[in-house]
């Protein structure tokens, strides 16, 4: 039976999400995919979140992948596999589409669907003893092309080819050298580095962050009218009270106090 959940705490403009299924190396169950989608839907209506930090419980795994205990019921044939793919894709898209930046803190195993979820985040901070893997070719599993496209955007083609074609693990240091990870830190320092990054992001102007995220996604070739939305939010930022506050704070040589308006 599938287990696990996604715990969420929100404080000081930072949402902290934890994949919690430690008995299965934080494997992501159907319930946990729904939890992620539910968080994204709720977060869209809130104004108190400026950044999110996504991690796995403990130090052994960000996530060991999709929870295979789901597969006998949910992915036993082609039709079931397609339905399951839609569940995963919906959750990854929901995280990717959040209006604020999302930082993944990767410790230990980041495998399969866990790698897909890390690819849905904007910044990836990893411990130097972590690793990436996508074992689909050892399972005979067809991987959703939308998910492959996301992995290529986030990790780059050379990394994705190696992960899929060899179905072996890629050490975090090599993944960092190849551009798939943004920060590489010793295991005893990685938590503090990730916290410093999300704290710094939380202190910045929310409309600027939203406009930048939309513009980056448009530049990456993600469609759906994102470029039009990016232009609109950029105009909002340029007409905002936060822009006036930022200019005033710079002139007064103090930290700005942004409100998102």
Q: State pLDDT tens for residues 15-61.
A: 999 999 999 999 999 999 999 999 999 998 888 999 999 999 999 99
Question: What backbone torsions phi and psi does residue 55 show, to the nearest 5 degrees?
Answer: -145, 170
**Residues 32, 5: contact at Cβ < 8 Å?**
yes
For the cut 70, the answer to whether the pLDDT of residue 1 exceeds it is no
Read off the pLDDT of residues 115-133 as tens digits, 9 standing for 90 and up. Answer: 999 999 999 999 999 999 9
Question: Is residue 224 scored above 90 in pLDDT?
Answer: no
Element (H, E) at 226: helix 226-238
Provide the pLDDT confidence category of residue 80 given band limits of 50, 70 and 90.
Answer: low
Cβ atoms 30, 66 nearer than 8 A: no
Phi/psi of residue 146, nearest 5 degrees: -65, -40
Question: For the whole model, what pTM was predicted?
Answer: 0.93
> 76: pLDDT confidence band, cut at 50, 70 and 90?
low
Task: Give the integer Cα–Cα distance in Å for 229 and 233.
Answer: 6
138-143: long-range pairs with CB below 8 Å, 24+:
138/167, 141/81, 142/81
Task: For the chain, report the end-to-end CA distance as a whole number of angstroms.
Answer: 46
């Amino acid at each position: 039976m599938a287990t696990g959940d996604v715990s969420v705490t929100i404080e000081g403009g930072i949402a902290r999400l934890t994949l919690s299924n430690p008995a299965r190396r934080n494997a992501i169950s159907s319930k946990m995919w729904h939890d992620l989608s539910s968080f994204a839907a709720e977060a869209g209506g809130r104004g108190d979140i400026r950044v999110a930090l996504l991690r796995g419980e403990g130090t052994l795994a960000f996530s060991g992948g999709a929870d295979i205990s789901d597969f006998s019921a949910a992915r036993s044939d082609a039709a079931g596999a397609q339905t399951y793919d839609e569940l995963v894709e919906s959750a990854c898209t929901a995280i990717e589409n959040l209006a604020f930046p999302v930082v993944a803190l990767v410790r230990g195993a980041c495998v399969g669907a866990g790698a897909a979820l890390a690819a849905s985040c904007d910044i990836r901070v990893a411990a130097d003893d972590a690793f990436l893997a996508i074992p689909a070719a050892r399972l005979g599993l067809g991987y959703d092309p939308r998910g492959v496209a996301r992995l290529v955007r986030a990790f780059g083609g050379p990394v994705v080819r190696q992960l899929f074609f060899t179905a072996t693990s890629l050490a975090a240091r090599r993944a960092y050298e190849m551009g798939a990870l943004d920060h590489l830190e010793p295991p005893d320092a990685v938590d503090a580095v990730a916290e410093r990054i999300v704290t710094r992001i939380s202190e910045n102007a929310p409309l600027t962050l939203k406009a930048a995220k939309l513009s980056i996604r448009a530049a990456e070739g993600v469609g759906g009218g994102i470029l039009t939305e990016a232009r609109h939010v950029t105009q909002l930022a340029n007409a905002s009270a936060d822009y006036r506050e930022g200019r005033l704070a710079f002139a007064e040589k103090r930290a700005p106090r942004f409100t998102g308006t």
